[in-house]
Amino acid sequence: MIDLSSPSHPPAGVVDSAVAAADTAARTAEVSVRQLDALPDLVAVQRLYEKIWRPDGKTPPVTTELLRALSKAGSYVGGAFDGDELVGACVGFFSPPAHEALHSHIAGVAARMRGRSVGYALKVHQRAWSLQRGVASVSWTFDPLVRRNAYFNLGKLAASPLEYLANFYGPMNDEINGSDDTDRLLVGWLLDAPEVTAACSGEPAPALRAADLPGAVVGLGVSPDGRPVRGSTDGPTVLVAVPEDIEALRAQDPGRAAEWRRALRETLDGLLAGGARITGFDRSGWYIVDTSPHGGDHERKVAK
């Protein structure tokens, strides 16, 4: 059972091992990661996010003033540095204190650093920082159509899918989301869970593969010309596809991107609403969904 609303306290040694894992992740990514509270660093976070989401100079996703307030209030503002240059940042704020939880609102990494596991180093640092402060769980959302993010969150970090949120933020009209609806998948991270501890130590569980699941049915597939094809959800395991690169598709063919949004919402949200559970993500582009009676037998609440 997954219950992210109940407080827990990590066993002795968990915090120390989390800090060690964060140090290792940063060294592997060849960056330094630290908590940010100085005004110049917070200005740099806003500028980095502007480059990622708002290159046209419009309102940034997070302002320096808000970052300053969050930092002063004791929330999480972490930054990854390549030498003296800020190349990645992650921002989170606390959920109700009784839940001992943090909501990780936004994270971004400079395009030139892709492939260096900077985002992973930031999240592992956020886990260590949270455990040091008695936080039991972290939640965040991501666009379920973005294949690399689905693999990163569910596979590499071992986060647990909790809820499908249709058009969660409303129109954003930025470089990444375009004019598409902002559907999100809410995930939770139980920080001292064995699978999370292993993932943050660089030893995630072997990824599930759609090809290794006999009897699985395709609930949403891909046509030869790249369009979504609705299938059957009548089976104990349902495979739900996402396109190879939804961000490129939004730029090249917004209509087809919107078609994928509608199809994924109808299929994945429908399955989760019916009590099914996402058990993994095949890196080749498939959500793996368990629809058996025990599949939905877990707590979907999360501190908000």
| The pLDDT of residue 57 | 63
In the predicted structure, residue 302 carries a pLDDT above the cut 90: no
Q: How far apart are CA 125 and CA 1, in angstroms?
A: 26
Q: Which of 40, 111, 122 is closest to 79 using CA atoms?
A: 122
Does residue 208 or residue 101 have the better pLDDT?
101
In the predicted structure, residue 294 carries a pLDDT above the cut 80: no
Question: CA of 181: how far to CAs of 21, 29, 113, 134, 143, in Å?
Answer: 36, 33, 28, 36, 10
In the predicted structure, residue 144 carries a pLDDT above the cut 70: yes
pTM to 2 decimal places: 0.88
Torsion sign (Cα): 234, 157, 83, 33? positive
Does residue 94 or residue 173 have the better pLDDT?
94
In the predicted structure, residue 45 carries a pLDDT above the cut 90: yes
Q: What is the arithmetic mean of pLDDT over 4-22?
A: 75
In the predicted structure, residue 304 carries a pLDDT above the cut 70: no
Q: What is the arithmetic mean of pLDDT over 146-168?
A: 96
Q: How far apart are CA 91 and CA 78, in angstroms?
A: 6
> Tens of pLDDT along 216-270?
999 999 999 999 999 999 999 999 999 999 999 988 999 999 999 999 999 999 9
Per-residue pLDDT band at 9 (split at 50, 70, 90): low
Q: How far apart are CA 131 and CA 128, in angstroms?
A: 5
- Among 95-99, 104-108, 157-161, 289-293, the range scoring the smallest mean pLDDT is 95-99
Nearest-5° angle of CA 118, CA 122, CA 128? 145
Q: What average pLDDT does the chain have?
A: 89
Q: What is the arithmetic mean of pLDDT over 10-31?
A: 91
- Among 9-13, 28-32, 212-216, 247-251, the range scoring the smallest mean pLDDT is 9-13
Long-range contacts of 34-41, Cβ-Cβ distance < 8 Å, separation of 24 or more: 34/78, 34/79, 34/81, 34/125, 35/76, 35/77, 35/78, 35/129, 36/67, 36/71, 36/77, 36/78, 36/79, 36/89, 37/71, 37/72, 37/77, 39/64, 39/68, 41/79, 41/86
